[in-house]
Amino acid sequence: MKILAFDGTAKAASVAVLDGERVLGYYTVDNGLTQSELLLPMAENLLKSLKLSFSDIELFATSVGPGSFTGVRIGVSLIKGLAFGRNIPCVEVSTLEALAESLSCLPGLIVPCMDARRQQVYSATFISDGGELKRLTEDRAIALSELAEELRGHDENIWLVGDGYAVSKAAINRAGVETMNTPELLILESAVSVAKVALKKYEKGEFVSDSELSPIYLRLPQAERERLEREATKQ
């Protein structure tokens, strides 16, 4: 099964094509611009290099958040457009679950952390057992101090991952909770992981039509949103 996957939820945008679990090609761009707007031409170039076309794709997947609102919207809109009228299954993948998937080979707790500013992160907790992920919490916005307390009682190795890795590791370690050193190449989001999660979901029957695709917009607590809005107006 040929899978086309997008991820535009973070600073770097990426596209991947897989045949089952085998990676056929991967394309990522991170040059400080609004990368999510490049997803379609990136996909076109990647498919051309593989001598494939959109008509060869049997499963579409995209990260649906949390993350950049613009990136999430563009990824969802792309899949809707590409799948429209073709009866091709689509899979919605949590950005946090895709991040965890990249570390699923490492035993212990896997805690994706996406920076939400002001010592807060978008996060979820998973446990890896024999390469399979089990979700322990839902995706949520959480203060790093609260996350550290939540992790304190666990005996397993704790692996952090995501663009909030550095700030999260520093804060959680300061709270007296030890975390492992995640390999640098595995820290950031990847469309390859989106595709791998999508395949597992598809095999479980967890897919939707293009018209049913929808993004995940996690919200910070109301008081925090209002404070950030006040600060923005002062700048």
What pLDDT digit, counting tens, does each position of 14-37 carry?
Answer: 999 999 999 999 999 986 555 678
Q: Which residues contact 154 (CB under 8 A, 6 or more apart)?
A: 109
pLDDT digits (tens, 9 = 90+) for 151-207: 998 999 999 999 999 999 999 999 999 999 999 999 999 999 999 999 999 999 999
Q: 22: part of which helix (H) or strand (E)?
A: strand 22-29
Mean pLDDT of 103-125: 95
Instruction: Tell whether domain 103-186 is in CATH 3.30.420.40.
Output: yes
- Strand-pairing partners, residue 224, are none
Per-residue pLDDT at 226 exceeds 60: no
Q: Is the pLDDT of residue 108 over 60?
A: yes
CATH of region 2-95+190-219:
3.30.420.40
Domain parsing of the chain, residue ranges: 2-95+190-219, 103-186
The values of phi and psi at residue 19, to 5°, are -115, 100
Domains 2-95+190-219 and 103-186 share a fold: yes
pTM for the full predicted model: 0.90
